[in-house]
Structure 1
Amino acid sequence: MGVVVALLAIVVALLAVMVIGLLRTNADVLRALEDLGAGIGDPSGPSGASGPAAGRRRRDQAPAPAAKTGRPAIDLSGATLDGGSQAVRVSGVGHDTLLLFLSSGCLTCRSFWDALREPGGLGLPSRIRVVAVTKDLDAESPSELAELIPRHGAVHLMSSAAWTDYAVPGSPYAVLVGGAEGRVIGEGTGGSWEQVANLLAQASGDLAYVGEDTPRTRKAGRDMEVERDTDAELLNAGIRPGDPSLYPGQEETAPGDEPPAT
């Protein structure tokens, strides 16, 4: 009996040594991957921007300052998709500017791109200028950007420097700049434009982002008025819901022609 107990103790000791060795090896592998930048790249890149290149960029670049609402705004400059250059002034102007930091490789950003391409864009008042900011061309997909960027309304600018200047943690991210004061008056992120609009409305105290005085809500109101007026005219003419005249393409079925029940 004592021999069996001794053998079991030896086996347990060997297993403990093996487990400790595996844990150390796993820690070394994770440390090496972190040094290379694997798995922790910028999610806004076309494929996650991970790997050795991302690790080198993080080591070469100084860490961005912590984001803080109320800090001075910085004018933007960068490239356009057609190869030109453009500067966007956000301070000392007579309008506010909404900077939407988006990416061609960000799935969550797709709903923001779709909203920007809609008629009326985000439905903001004309006093708010919308600028979609992506990173430089080497961190984006030109073909996808060509399909995503809006043709009218919002301005598109490629500027990795702007991401650093505004300490953007990832995409999508919105920064609202007050043109008169030249300061950031609201910022945040969310899974949809509606969520970001609520955040900006709370941060700025301006209900224009979620209120009724926007092109999108005004259009919805007009549609409701047209529908209400149409219903009233039909009722006055004696036409009620289910009236055959409302369905001219459907043939009337006589009572004796009804198909047998199954």
Structure 2
Amino acid sequence: MSFHIKHYPAPQTSKTGWKLLIKPSKEAVAELRQKLCAQWKKAQGTNVQSVLAKLNPIIRGWANYHRIAVAKEIFNKLDHWMLRKAEHYTKWMHPNKSAEWRHQKYWGRLHLDRLDSWVFGDKPTGGYLLKFSWFPIERHKLVKGRSSPDDPTLKDYWMKRQAAKARDLTFSKQKLAKRQKGRCLECGESLFNEEEIQVHHRLAKSLGGKDLYSNLALVHLLCHQHIHAVTERSMRDCQQYNDRELLMEEKRMHHQSQQEENKELCGS
């Protein structure tokens, strides 16, 4: 179970004397740590860019899913835990270097929009590891009245609610989702039904297809697997694109932050 739901005594703030709080469950946090641990172990011996490409999608997905709950404290604890994991990684990579040297090489204010000097990443490229606490808590919006997803007259209402989830996608995927009007290319259903979303090459790269928007589309993971099973195509190129796109998005955000900061300096 992803969430823990419990009534807590609140005689000072609630008319009923109780307050319902929804938090990420201990089981969900434990499962997340196991998954991240596995990726950190695989990362030993690989460069920082590979580390970011593997960890950032997991952090982004888990934080976006759980930020509708009372999760601020848990997010902060996960960030401290990830700091220790990053320190272990750098120590394994550079066993003969001092802690000060490793901190100087791998940590800094890489996210220019935040006054945080302890951001782990790759200074030459500007890529950095996301932090759970960077994802703001957003309470779930209650459904209006007795609105039902099965009511055909409310189809537009439910599509708009689901399309709002597009803001959690990377910039490139947001552009594709808008072009597809929030629908999966394969099944035609809403992209935002809690299934994993992947980028698909309309024309396979092995057949000359390019990494251009005109040749890319968003599909559900299961739909993606179905497409490749039917056409006997390999998902390798698509998976490589999905991994690379996440890393490029981090670089784009870093570059944009630098440009905005330069404008502010020039204007001051």
TM-score range, shorter chain: under 0.3
Comparing both structures, which one devotes a greater share of its residues to helix?
2
Q: Which has the greater radius of gyration?
A: 1
